[in-house]
């Protein structure tokens, strides 16, 4: 069996610590971690930290970096350089330094951050330093046993599918032991190939973030506003408090057990700011000091979570709800300060709430839908950049708690999102409203919308095949109804085309291809797609109704779909 041959090769070629881990592997683990390799895609690599070709370790990281080096050299851009950052996860610094050794070993100028940094700082740095590419070592909000490798191109966005395919081809040519070149970092520094960066870039980055503040006076007036913040033991621990204090937030309380970087994430097994449980420690502080707003950032500080006080207690807002509050506030603030551009636009992923599109249209703002993945929002910003003619980007967001305002970066940024949500809270507090009151006002103004996401995990060796089989079956026999609701049209983005279920007419789409099925149920939407970073199929629901009860009843029925379709 091929995986046994590869296991034996690793046993002979790897270092002592890895060899010890290999000797302790069960037969099942040998098959799991040596059956195939981690797939390099537009989101780079992600996996558990173990020995093996199908896991995150110094060998797979080095091989991936050799593949990226191959792309950079083929483009003749080795002198433009690559910037590398990393998060608070275990082994992140080790993987970052390994990546730097490989790049320098291929003669590529490398900028390495002297300590951990948020993902958006990396995106900004690629653009600021005019690098060919960037690398960020992070597994975002995954549990502690995971790590990942995100690769960026010169626009500051993650690699496009075409570039990711090229990197994959170069990876395939580089033997994991014999095909990787390395140069020790002390020698690389002496040779002028390695440059350490840090606070000099932070200062410029924070300046760009602060420029996204719209109504500074509103913050200055809100002296009684109390805010609870948790970095969830991640990279937001320094820059988020710094930006909030710089705009005038006086009463900022940091959750002590989640304040310092820690790759074991001792206070929560899932450091995901979407989950209500990560706010439990903060709520105790909020009750003590009378705070109405709690915010949290994930370990690499690109996602923002928000919990707000309502009349019935604290409520953790979904990514969509945060997005619509931000959009409503930004448009209103730009209008009242006379700064709304004549051709203002926003961008959202196509699985994010249609309420955002309704808000935009009602206020004369163009809303663009793009594929899931913030790189597509970045591509839209690149394509539309024309500030001289009044075309201005005001917000990009994904339902998975990712937000960006400003064009200094091309990835989601929890630092700027934290600043903006606090600005909004400050302004509305002056009107005697909490952010929950604002949300209810939005529903009264634009209609009752509910959005939810379910995920069905498919771990194990057959997980990917099971997901492929489910998507294949849905395409072979397109459902005429879902959970009792008639499908009026569906779009298969793998083709891509839309089919009218009543007439059978097929309309080709001028978009890229994506393994996603999008179903229209009259005015409601269901989207089914495999995750690009984890072994799971995701189900997105976007429903509306004349009343909240009507919307809730629709959502309840639709949430029976995952079990029915996956037989989970």
CB-based contacts of 27, cutoff 8 Å, min separation 6 = none
Q: Are strands 226-230 and 133-137 parallel, antiparallel or unpaired?
A: unpaired
Q: How many degrees, rounded to 5, is the angle at CA 43 between CA 37 and CA 45?
A: 30
Please state, in angstroms and rounded to a whole number, the distance separating the CA atoms of residues 207 and 124.
12
Distance between CA 288 and CA 284 in Å, rounded?
6
**What's 402's DSSP letter?**
E
Half-sphere exposure of 242 (CA within 13 A, CB side): 14
Q: Give the Å distances, CA to CA, from 462 to 56, 103, 171, 429, 563.
A: 20, 35, 24, 52, 18
The encoded tokens of residue 272 equal: 């995901």
Phi, psi for 361 (deg, rounded to 5): -60, -40
Pair of tokens at residue 161: 């599918």
Catalytic residue from among 37, 85, 140, 267: 140
The C-alpha atoms of residue 419 and residue 32 are separated, in whole angstroms, by: 43
Residue whose tokens read 């400003």: 406
**In whole angstroms, what is the distance from residue 149 CA to residue 46 CA?**
6
- The set of residues, in sequence order, having a beta carbon less than 8 Å from that of 540 and lying 6+ positions away, is 351, 399, 451, 452, 453, 525, 526, 527, 528, 529
- From the CB of residue 499, how many other CB atoms can be counted at a distance below 10 Å? 17
Given a contact cutoff of 8 angstroms between Cβ atoms, the answer to whether 84 and 134 are in contact is: yes
To the nearest 10 degrees (0 to 180), the angle between helices 2-13 and 27-34 is 90
DSSP one-letter string for 202-255: HHHHHHHHHTT---HHHHHH-TT-EEEEE-TTSTHHHHHHHHHHHTT--EEEE-
Backbone angles phi, psi at 397, to 5 degrees: -155, 155
Tokens for 221?
């007036």
Number of helices (H) and strands (E) in the chain: give both, helices first: 20, 24
Instruction: Let me know if 140 is a catalytic residue.
Output: yes
- The tokens 């599918």 sit on which residue? 161
Residues whose CB falls within 8 Å of the CB of residue 388, separated by 6 or more in sequence, listed in order:
none
Residue 547's contacts (CB-CB under 8 Å, 6 or more residues apart) are 448
Lookup: tokens for 14:
């790897």
Query: 382 vs 80, 159, 210, CA distance in Å?
Result: 20, 14, 21
**Token code pair at residue 297:** 């950032």
Phi, psi of 107 (to 5 degrees): 75, 25
Active-site residues: which are they?
Answer: 140
């Amino acid at each position: 069996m091929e995986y046994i041959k590869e296991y034996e090769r690793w046993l002979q070629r790897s270092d002592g610590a890895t060899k010890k881990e290999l000797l302790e592997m069960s037969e099942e683990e040998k098959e799991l971690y040596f059956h195939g390799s981690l797939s390099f895609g537009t989101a780079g690599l992600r996996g558990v930290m173990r020995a093996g070709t199908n896991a995150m370790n110094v060998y797979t990281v080095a091989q991936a970096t050799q593949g990226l080096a191959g792309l950079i050299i083929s483009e003749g851009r080795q002198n433009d350089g690559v910037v590398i950052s990393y998060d608070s996860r275990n082994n992140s610094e080790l993987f970052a330094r390994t990546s730097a050794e490989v790049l320098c070993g291929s003669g590529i100028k490398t900028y390495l951050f002297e300590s951990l940094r948020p993902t958006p700082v990396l995106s900004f740095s690629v653009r600021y330093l005019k690098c060919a590419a960037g690398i960020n070592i992070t597994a975002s909000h995954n549990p502690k046993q995971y790590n990942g490798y995100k690769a960026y191109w010169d626009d500051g966005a993650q690699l496009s599918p075409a570039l990711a395919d090229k990197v994959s081809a170069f990876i395939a040519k580089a033997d994991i032991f014999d095909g990787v070149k390395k140069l020790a970092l002390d020698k690389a520094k002496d040779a002028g190939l390695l440059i350490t960066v840090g606070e000099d870039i932070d200062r410029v980055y924070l300046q760009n973030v602060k420029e996204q503040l719209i109504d500074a006076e509103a913050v200055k007036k809100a002296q009684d506003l109390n805010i609870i913040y948790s970095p969830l033991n991640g990279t937001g621990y320094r820059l988020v408090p710094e930006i909030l204090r710089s705009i005038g937030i006086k009463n900022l309380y940091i959750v002590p057990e989640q304040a310092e970087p820690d790759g074991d994430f001792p206070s929560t097994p899932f450091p995901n700011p979407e989950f209500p449980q990560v706010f439990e420690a903060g709520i105790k502080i909020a009750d003590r000091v009378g705070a109405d707003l709690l915010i949290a950032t994930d370990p690499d500080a690109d996602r923002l979570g928000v919990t707000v006080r309502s009349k019935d207690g604290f409520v953790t807002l979904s990514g969509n709800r945060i997005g619509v509050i931000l959009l409503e506030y930004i448009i209103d603030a730009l209008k009242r300060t006379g700064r709304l551009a004549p051709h203002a636009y926003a961008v959202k992923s196509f699985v994010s709430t249609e309420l955002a599109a309704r808000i935009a249209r009602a206020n004369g703002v163009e809303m663009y839908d793009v594929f899931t993945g913030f790189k597509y929002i970045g591509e839209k910003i690149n394509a539309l950049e024309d500030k001289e003619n009044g075309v201005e980007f005001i917000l990009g967001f994904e339902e998975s708690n990712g937000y960006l305002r400003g064009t200094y970066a091309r990835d989601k940024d929890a630092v700027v999102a934290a600043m903006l949500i606090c600005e909004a809270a400050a302004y509305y507090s002056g009107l005697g409203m909490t952010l929950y009151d604002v949300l209810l006002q939005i529903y009264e103004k634009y209609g009752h919308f509910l959005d939810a996401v379910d995920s069905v995990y498919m771990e194990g060796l057959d997980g990917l095949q099971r997901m492929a089989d489910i998507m294949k079956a849905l395409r072979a026999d397109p459902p005429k109804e879902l959970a009792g609701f008639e499908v009026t049209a569906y779009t298969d983005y793998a083709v891509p085309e839309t089919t009218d279920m009543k007439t059978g007419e097929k309309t080709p789409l001028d978009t890229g291809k994506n393994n996603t099925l999008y179903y229209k149920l009259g005015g409601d939407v269901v989207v089914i797609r495999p995750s690009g970073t984890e072994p799971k199929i995701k189900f997105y629901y976007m429903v509306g109704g004349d009343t909240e009860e009507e919307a809730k009843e629709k959502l309840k029925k639709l949430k029976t779909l995952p079990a029915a379709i996956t037989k989970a």
